[in-house]
Structure 1
Amino acid sequence: MSDQRFIIEMGMGNDLHGENYTKAATRAVESAMRRSSLHILGLPGIDRDTLRVKVTIGVQNPDAIDSAAIAALLPIGMPEVVVLHGGLNSTHPDTGEIIVIASAAVEAFLPVQFGACKPT
């Protein structure tokens, strides 16, 4: 059965000291999730266990992300974490210290509901 996206939220997070990409990504995901309240999941006939949550993170060093730690942030559903090259590193001109800036998109999908309109 196919599913359809019913929400997408974006967030940004950073780590000012320490060059911790997972910390920056965690903050980006938390930022996105703070702007959402999924009241639809309380409706009769909606099975929370069928919720698929896709998190896409962009950082300059994708290999430095702990995907399991990001998936653990999601309170419900079946998480999928995708990490891509993106985001931004900003280097202090005098000290060389790097600020890690991560971007995230959090998408939630549910199976197509009976009688629902087909996506176009």
Structure 2
Amino acid sequence: MEQRVIIEMGMGNDLHGMDYQKAAKRAIEDAIRHSTLPIFQSIGMPHTEMRVQVTVGVQEPDKIDTEALKPGLPRGRADVGVVKGGLNIPNPETGDTAVVATAAVEAFLPSQAGKWIQT
């Protein structure tokens, strides 16, 4: 049994190239910049015990290479999924479209029930 120990959200964009991959990578980077997990040093648990589930939302999910996003995650065993979401913002004056991606990064550890002693 696993327990979710953290969830972080991020947003990334590509303003001129309509590059969903770049926007998704930036959204994941934004999410992980908001967190630190000192638990691994505190209890001597290897970070490989952590499963990291990433969900990216973009308007065109088929344009995302999920395997290419995994190396950007610094810890744990990563799974990356993509759903329809995010936002496309067209500029009618130039024909350009800005792409916004969102990401949720969740970290799961094996159940810690009964392993902690309150003093």
Q: CA deviation at 1:17?
A: 1.2
| CA offsets 1:34-55 (integer angstroms, 9 cap, x no match) | 1001111112342311100000
**TM-score under structure 1 length normalisation:** 0.91
1:21 corresponding residue in structure 2: 20
Q: Distance in 2 between matches of 1:47 and 1:113?
A: 14
Unaligned 5+ segments in structure 2 are: none
| Counterpart residue type for residue 70 of structure 1 | L
| Counterpart residue type for residue 21 of structure 1 | Y
2:78 corresponding residue in structure 1: 79
| Counterpart residue type for residue 93 of structure 2 | D
2:95 corresponding residue in structure 1: 96
**TM-score under structure 2 length normalisation:** 0.92
| Counterpart residue type for residue 48 of structure 1 | H
Q: Distance in 2 between matches of 1:33 and 1:13?
A: 12
Percent sequence identity over matched residues?
54
| Counterpart residue type for residue 67 of structure 2 | A
Report the RMSD for the aligned CA atoms in angstroms: 1.3
Does 1:62 find its partner at 2:78? no
Query: SS of the counterpart of 1:103?
Result: strand
Q: Distance in 1 between matches of 2:71 and 2:48?
A: 15
Q: How many residues align?
A: 116
Unaligned 5+ segments in structure 1 are: none
